[in-house]
């Protein structure tokens, strides 16, 4: 079953339930202060909200995510960096993980060791901030993105503790966004310093 077919099936089921609640609400609303009518009205509203959410999904998008979701993923480490983090021992709880090239959002926190139990490979997708915090707390490596207003570019500095001249890395590469800078710095630390 394709994603489009699955969404169509879910949508049809939700629309059917909404119609049932419409009839129920109309029937029981005639009774004064009907608890059933009130409860059904809440369920009806939840289903309408779910229907609006389904309408926002763009399953035809190349990555299987709509534009807003793709932009949102820039706050998370890339798949390549997620693999490096797992290899280096990152096992903090995350509410999102990489699965088949997409970020999947979970209802509860999941760890890399839990993803190892599944048949398919998966990697937790921490936020850039969570990954830099892990590097700071576990390895005493501090990442500092630096902004240069002319011509609006970023670079990063990595400081290893204890702070000595030998333990400061300033990288000559420039980046267009803060997120790209953080991603590159995290990846550099994982590949070269740990």
Q: In this model, does residue 62 exceed pLDDT 50?
A: no
Average model confidence (pLDDT) across the chain = 75
Note down the domain range covering 9. 3-57
> What is the predicted pLDDT for the residue at 75?
83
Q: If you average pLDDT over residues 57-74, what whole number do you get?
A: 46
**CATH number (domain holding residue 190):** 3.30.160
Q: Which of 174, 184, 169 is nearest to 152 (CA)?
A: 174
Q: Which of 81, 77, 90, 80 is nearest to 116 (CA)?
A: 90
Based on the domain organization, do 46 and 75 belong to the same domain?
no
Based on the domain organization, do 45 and 71 belong to the same domain?
no
> What is the predicted pLDDT for the residue at 110?
83
Residues ≥6 apart with Cβ < 8 Å to 104 = 96, 97, 98, 122
Domain annotation covers residue 62:
no
* Beta-carbon count within 10 A of 113 CB: 10
pTM: 0.60
Query: How many Å is the Cα radius of gyration of the chain?
Result: 24
> What is the predicted pLDDT for the residue at 59?
39
Crossing angle for the helix pair 128-139 and 178-192, nearest 10 degrees?
40
Q: What is the DSSP letter of 127?
A: B
């Amino acid at each position: 079953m394709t994603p489009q077919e699955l969404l169509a099936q879910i949508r049809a089921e939700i629309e059917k339930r909404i119609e049932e609640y419409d009839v129920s609400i109309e029937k029981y609303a005639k009774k004064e202060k009907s608890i059933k009518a009130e409860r059904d009205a809440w369920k009806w509203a939840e289903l309408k909200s779910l229907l609006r959410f389904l309408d926002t999904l763009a399953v035809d998008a190349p990555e299987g995510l709509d534009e807003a979701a793709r932009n949102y993923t820039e706050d998370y480490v890339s798949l390549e960096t997620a693999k490096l983090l797992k290899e280096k021992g990152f096992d903090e709880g995350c509410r999102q993980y990489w699965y088949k090239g997409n970020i999947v959002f979970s209802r509860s926190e999941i760890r890399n060791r839990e993803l190892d139990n599944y048949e398919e490979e998966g990697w937790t997708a921490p936020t850039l901030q969570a990954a830099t915090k892990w590097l700071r707390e576990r390895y005493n490596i501090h990442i500092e993105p630096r902004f240069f207003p002319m011509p609006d570019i970023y670079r990063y500095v990595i400081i290893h503790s204890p702070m000595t001249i030998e333990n400061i890395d300033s990288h000559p590469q420039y980046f267009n966004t803060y997120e790209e800078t953080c991603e590159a710095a995290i990846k550099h630390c994982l590949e070269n310093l740990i």
